[in-house]
Amino acid sequence: MPWWGTYILISIGLLLIGIILAIWDKIKRKKRIKTLWNKQNTLNRPKGNHIKYRQYFDYLQINNKHYIDDITWNDLDLDRIFTKLNYNFTTVGEEYMYASLRNIPNHTVNELLIKKITNDQKFRERVSFILADLGRSTNNNASRFAFRHKSDEQYNPWIIIVSLLPFLSLFSFYFGISVGIFTVMLAISIVMSLSMRFKSKSELLYDDIFYAVKIIDTASDLLNLKESHLDTKPPNIRSIKFLSYLMLSDDNNETNFALQIINALKMLFMTDYHIYHYALRILRKNQASYAEYYQVVGQYDSSYSVGMYRRTLPYYKLPEIGPLHTEEIYHPLLTHPVANDYTHNRGILLTGSNASGKSTFMKTIALNIVLAQAINTTTSEVFRYQPGHVLTSMNLEDSLSKGDSYFIAEIKSIKRIIRAIEDFPMTYIFIDEILRGTNTKERISSATAILNHINSNKNTTLFAATHDIELTELLKDTFDFYYFREHLTENNDIEFDYTIRKGVTTTSNAIELMRIYDYPEHIYQDAKSTLATLKKLNT
């Protein structure tokens, strides 16, 4: 057999080995996917703070002011909520769910699809297999093709000739074995060098394009399922369909020998360069259609994820529309939460000792409004509300790290709330320890004016917490008052029941906490004595 024949046979053999190993890997993955639902587990979820999910949201927010801002996101610890929710198979699902949690309009889940996935095992497994085949992208930016973007990438037709060099070099064996070997090795070196140079230069966009093509193929497969429960039917991008068969990458499994072999063969003929430019041209022409395909995958994946998340909850309820009312509501991040009932009539002011549950209660209400709007799920037995924009001013650590004093950070945070109640048709406002960064007299005076202003907006629902009992007298005509309390145990310790009650607190625990945490006795006694003196002065 001539040298070139051996060369071709080796190439075919390596390709077959790669295909066989890829099929075997897919069979093993399918077996594992079938166990995920009952085990409430995820498939190869990457870990670490370096993983980002907000690229799609960043594109959306440019032309949209209706979303959860960074202050509210951090106050409510929504990064942890997202982690709890994230049973997605794909980067698309993760980014779509992130945008949903940010309460971006038109990015809610499909309840019929969630029910179908939850109740129909065969349908769920089929959806899981399709989504798992798409998997995750290491670059996480394939959503860029759903939006206008600039690119200087130009196709060089001369690369076609360069790509054929390994094949054309085989004819050099007619001039002798030595000449043939030298020519083939030279051709391979040139092509591989150019392939690696191209991959290095365009790696990020390269990965995004290939993932985008797979997204289109995945969305088509999902829409072809019976009872998909999605009304959308994006226009076919036929000219890109066949590329999905060449979309092989080792991003999801660096130890997959089969994919490494196939990718090496693709580099040998610069296949990716040609597919890359062809796909880029098609995506530019079909931006709107691609956006629809992206959302199809996002809805399916996030619907699966929401269905799984609901299985992890002790109980949940779908939200209803009406005046704000909830029963047995609990905080979704707490291991042993205490449930509460609440009916809203007008703005409320919460009082209570340190660590009694004021902040947790406000976060519980705020989180459930966010979850109701994002995933049609609440951690309660009953939850009625009017959809609206959620803003908080509770924890300003990020602003402090940027150099602002606490008071300046708080002033800026509350100013954004004052602007928001004028811009949005319905707002939910949550303020914890208003203006704690200034002196008592100015704090009480300013807090009274600010809270009255916010509460006077008929489309605003206000929750505020304070240690300044004086505010209850100043706001008694316009606010309802609720409180949390504690009691001393037989061991002379402080115990909380975290249950909300109507009225104003009559207790405090700051001085007793110093005793419990073993402060020097004279500090504790001096504090009690000074407190008694202050109370006499105020009577």
Last residue of a domain, one of 312, 334, 368: 312
Q: Is position 267 within any domain?
A: yes
Residue 350 half-sphere exposure toward CB, CA atoms < 13 A: 29
Other beta carbons within 10 angstroms of residue 447's beta carbon come to 25
User: Which CATH number is 490's domain given?
Assistant: 3.40.50.300
* Nearest one of 130, 134, 149, 131 to 283, comparing CA atoms: 149
* C-alpha radius of gyration, the chain, whole number: 30
The encoded tokens of residue 537 equal 């002065």
- ∠ at Cα 367 (410, 508), nearest 5°? 60
Q: Is position 44 within any domain?
A: no
Residues 214 and 300 in one domain: yes
Last residue of a domain, one of 312, 347, 380: 312
Instruction: Measure CA 430 to chain center.
Output: 22
> Which residues, other chains included, contact 314 with Cβ-Cβ below 8 Å and sequence gap of 6+?
330
pLDDT on residue 386: 96
Residues 474 and 330 in one domain: yes
Judge whether 416 and 429 are in contact, CB under 8 Å: no
Residues 211 and 360 in one domain: no
Residues 398 and 266 in one domain: no
Residue 61 half-sphere exposure toward CB, CA atoms < 13 A: 15
Last residue of a domain, one of 258, 280, 312: 312
Residues 12 and 131 in one domain: yes
pLDDT on residue 245: 62
Residues 92 and 214 in one domain: yes
The encoded tokens of residue 187 equal 């051709």
* Nearest one of 237, 345, 219, 231 to 284, comparing CA atoms: 237
Could you tell me the end-to-end alpha-carbon distance of the chain, in angstroms, rounded to an integer?
A: 110
pLDDT on residue 273: 73
3-class state of residue 459 by DSSP: coil
Residues 383 and 280 in one domain: no
**Tokens 């966009």 correspond to what residue?**
205
Tell me the residue range of the domain where 478 lies: 320-508
Rounded CA separation 437/496 (Å) = 27
> Which residues, other chains included, contact 82 with Cβ-Cβ below 8 Å and sequence gap of 6+?
53, 97, 98, 101
**Total domains present in the chain:** 2
Q: Is position 517 within any domain?
A: no
Q: Is position 536 within any domain?
A: no
Residues 425 and 335 in one domain: yes
pLDDT on residue 175: 73
Residues 366 and 289 in one domain: no
Judge whether 463 and 488 are in contact, CB under 8 Å: no
> Which residues, other chains included, contact 161 with Cβ-Cβ below 8 Å and sequence gap of 6+?
none
Q: Is position 534 within any domain?
A: no
Judge whether 494 and 513 are in contact, CB under 8 Å: yes
Judge whether 357 and 496 are in contact, CB under 8 Å: yes
Residues 260 and 367 in one domain: no
Rounded CA separation 96/108 (Å) = 9
3-class state of residue 429 by DSSP: strand
pLDDT on residue 50: 46
Q: Is position 187 within any domain?
A: no
Under-50 pLDDT residues of the chain: 50, 250-252
pLDDT on residue 506: 79
Q: Is position 101 within any domain?
A: yes
The encoded tokens of residue 372 equal 């109701």
Query: For residue 342, which amino acid is it?
Result: Y
Residues 355 and 297 in one domain: no
pLDDT on residue 252: 47
Judge whether 198 and 273 are in contact, CB under 8 Å: yes
Q: Is position 496 within any domain?
A: yes
Packed helices 358-375 and 91-101: angle between N→C axes, nearest 10 degrees: 120
Residues 26 and 89 in one domain: yes
Number of residues assigned to the chain: 539
